[in-house]
Amino acid sequence: MGKIKIGIIGGTGLSDPDILKEGKGKQVSTPFGEPSDALVVGKISGVECVLLARHGKKHTVMPTNINYRANIWALKEEGCTHVVVTTACGSLREEYKPGDLVFPDQFIDRTTKRVSTFYDGKEGSPSGICHMPMHEPYCRHVREILGEVAKELNVSHHSSGTNVVVEGPRFSSKAESKMFQMWGGDIINMTAVPEVVLANEAGLCYAAIAMVTDYDCWRDDHEPVSVESVMAIFKSNVENVKKLLLAVIPRIAAKEWDDIIEQRQAATTSNTMQHGT
Ligand code: ADE
């Protein structure tokens, strides 16, 4: 069985690396520039992990300005085979309630200002043009483990969901929010794309733990989303996210991944057109 290493990208409300006991800070650089912050390298339950704060440890990087390519490249370079991320999200359905955890399986991309490939034809970038299939962007196997463990821990969760990803930093208008519902969106955030796309290009098994913090602004009987409500709900439920993360890591490590990782890497190669092919 090959060795695995798990990258953990902490989102809003979970930027501090205290889940990693005796973690060591490691400043790295990539061909795409600097990641959001120093990596924190260490072990959780004996499993090698690498922690990264998506918005920086002091939450200074807004969604549009996050260097998603540097973040994913840095985790890949560090030897990660898996990436499990946390994020706050709004809910577009009554049954996805504030405090619930969601393990999304699909996204709808509404971002407009982000580079979403490593294969950009520039010097220093990997060669070729990569057309990554995106029918199943999130790792089914990691999502399955997330669902099992959340059930065992009795944490209120949804084992699937379509995430509408908006550019931000503003929240949506009511008309947009209702349109996203009609499109089939279940939740909404600002960071899943291009993070999940790049993780696929890098051949990583990627899954997300999204915490519902608000009902966005489509409900007439609820206050519209605000930073204050997002932070308050996240804070009062953050222990569930930490508990789940800590329990999921040894369970990921107990699974045999060699074939899955090999298939992922082969998918990147076979979907990258090299010059002259
Ligand atoms: N993150 C948390 N809540 C959100 C919302 N309603 N829209 C976009 N991103 C969010």
pLDDT in tens, 172-224: 999 999 999 999 999 999 999 999 999 999 999 999 999 999 999 999 999 99
Q: Note if the pTM is more than 0.95.
A: yes
State whether residue 30 is helix, strand or coil. Answer: strand
With the most atoms of ligand 1 within 8 angstroms of its CB, the residue from 91, 100, 186, 190 to mutate is 190
**Ligand 1 pocket, 162 CB below 6 A?**
no
Phi first, then psi: what are they for 21, rounded to 5°? Answer: -70, 130
**Ligand 1 pocket, 177 CB below 6 A?**
no
Contact 187, 105 (CB under 8 A): no
Residue 64 per-residue DSSP state = G
Tokens standing for residue 5: 């290493």
User: Which residue's CA is the nearest one to ligand 1's atom 5?
Assistant: 90
- Asked if the model's pLDDT at residue 17 lies above 70, the reply is no
Distance, in Å, from the CA atom of 14 to the CA atom of 185, rounded to the nearest integer, reads: 24
The residues, any chain, with a CB within 8 Å of residue 18's CB and separated by 6 or more, are none
- Asked if the model's pLDDT at residue 18 lies above 80, the reply is no
Mean residue pLDDT across the chain: 95
pLDDT band of 12, cuts 50, 70, 90: confident
Q: Among residues 68, 65, 64, which one has the least CA distance to residue 52?
A: 68
- Ligand 1 centroid–CA 198 distance in Å is 21
